[in-house]
Structure 1
């Protein structure tokens, strides 16, 4: 008879000293551990592997999910929404593969994750009664091999077809090897992640003349909140994308799922920028290393995302581009999120039926990206009357939106090598340094030159 997931968590807890934490602190450790593991996998180039989880998918990084199929035991109700199994799939082979299995009452609802790749193998779980909660992390190959056998037996009873796919994947991976480096560095990395995501009570010297204030604690709390919001949203997005792989979805259902996916992605990016801004304000750093960035690769994705953003608000979109585009110096990953956030920020000041015009052209030794809207040259154009909320946020009572303050937005773009100018309710203009221009390579430092149009 197969064992319950609760019994497997108890097996992980064997020979481990009991916990003394509350549920909230244990769950913060869980989210921090997931971040550490996924960062490790990204650094390793996302090696092939597999993962098993309960009661929801624990991993959420798209690159990780694309190379590691997963098996998830989910609560009653989810089984009716399970994605098609591989035999019936029509998606490209790089699409994430997720198998959903029924969670039984005896399994409990505490989270469990078993992650197996060539260079990295670990089992994570939350365990313990109230007041005795703890995060368990086990790396021993023998214990992990036993868990895989027991989970395979459980799968045979739940879904033989899923069990067959799981068995093939385990055989492909071969014998498990000790990962001493991860075992030695795991808990310090979790502690460091928690320290980044929670308010700091330590006074540190800052490269400013003003005295320390309560702002540091506010920023730390803001970082923690941004992290706590993004992680469950990413889990929801993973579940939504697993449902989208069904071929029997009605068009209206698929459309709703796409809307939820888009909203989750936008909010994940939005809170990610809030986290970046708070971190930059709390611990200013030197020039960020910049890389040559090809906007021709980035802009098609951005145009599609911008059009979807504006369509929901019934705002038109017009695009004017100078071709060909030169390379710029920036951070490509963060720049994409910043530009999505910039469109969201600008369009909130427009009315239904207006249109956003995006113009991309050269401006001396910089690339100029300008957002303008209806009423750009009209004194009656809508203006915002936002109120500062803490060090990096502002509140617009007219739209009810909480967003990065203009100062925080400008600092973030400056860290990317850019310069932002804003006429509230009228236009936003971003300048990015061109590559192969003396003084621009490798940092965000700009030589002082005029912004003459090319």
Structure 2
């Protein structure tokens, strides 16, 4: 950083959010997709605010001070990024060493023409300030905050990073505040007032999900079909995947999973420390146990996502299969699966043979995948549904079947939306999980097989085959 003491946005995000892709073209595409995604979210947020204001405070509009129109603040550099009338409801600050040399404007969220006349506060930067060479955007709204960064790393490669974490946004805000104090001290008062007006809050999962979905939709398709990635065959435990360049959305998903999993692990650690305290009230213990359980389920889900990305992108993925006594697996897992179903007002019945065999698989991954299937069904089937699980031997394999009725199967399929190459998403609940194709690949990687059979008027049958030891 050439001895410059003030950090850049990307430097502050690096410890909390790993770079999502080292390739220059990949990083640029991710940056452009992210800025388009957040522009659409902010534009919709402004439209919603306008509708509420028109419905409830029309009679008092003249009494409102002019500052009341601000619905958020955007700090960006080195050039303006957004256009559109919705920017009138935001306080926009541009940091640059060459603000008026040229303008690089992305299309507006509504597809309209650029509006370079939008009034902005301009903060000059010293030519030696490394922030002048970084593309960044910091957004603070009443219900979420976000920081984006695109800059070169120590090897000269462009790296894209983003974070919704209030801790990261606070550090970035202080670094930019130092620039305001150094280069435009007369603007420090209004700048600090914005921090008070828009305090940092944890974002809703709906906002994070909407941003991720729009980001993936905004990513450009490969420009050269001749270099596009061939369709991969399903993974098998004994087969090595062919080398393939990771897709952009897989890299982003891996970075997002890391940024979410880390604070969940911290929360779970604190809950387990709290459980060691003496004289806790029963009600408090109940709440802490629920938090711990939810964190553990989500951490396991993100571990599955990491494994799925690894299997989809690595050219050396290999899973070691070991003998597993299924009696131990089912004995410890069935009560947990039934609790999962009960929390969603479902009934799970389990029928097992008198003696369960030993299978060859990966014990940790198998347990998490079975739990993920139960949780996915519990979240997507309508309340009151019943899931029947039955296990039996079939030749050299163990066959585990899960049955649910036709109405539940139809409702489940209608409620799911595809996101990228790996995930399905249920907008009504905000829940997500691995899609069917990836789930099948994971079962093949641990020596098994997954099939789903539609039964007219009778529902679906999900069958899992595991090789006997």
TM-score, normalised relative to structure 2: 0.48
TM-score norm. by structure 1 comes to 0.49
